[in-house]
Amino acid sequence: MAGQSRSSNQLVVPQAMAALDQLKYEVAQELGIQIPQDGYMGYMATRDAGAIGGNITRRLVQIAEQQLAGKFVR
């Protein structure tokens, strides 16, 4: 089940899935949260999963704000 999503959302840019997955691992590492090697996060504490998701959202909003301001450099 690693890397599979049960979401019915369709990505406008399919390559975005890899970037979002990388961002998930970066954020988890910054927060000191270990993501299971098999990719199954069903046993992960809700608080940890929420922290990862919240920080991903925060970072994506920050990137979008910088792009709108014309200041994004990556």
pTM summary value = 0.72
Structural domains counted in the chain = 1
Burial tier of 14 (Cβ tally within 10 Å: 0-12, 13-18, 19+): exposed
Confirm whether 8 is domain-assigned. no
Q: Is 52 helix (H, G, I), strand (E, B) or coil?
A: helix
Quote the CA–CA distance of 2 and 40 in Å, as a whole number: 6
| Digit-coded pLDDT (tens) for 10-68 | 878 888 888 998 999 999 999 999 988 887 888 999 999 999 999 999 999 998 998 89
Classify residue 49: in a domain, yes or no.
Answer: yes
Give a yes or no: residue 32 inside a domain: yes
| Residue 1 is assigned to a structural domain of this protein | no
In a domain, 29, yes or no: yes
> By residue range, what is the domain housing residue 33?
16-69
Q: CA–CA separation, 1 vs 37, rounded Å?
A: 11
Domain presence at residue 55? yes
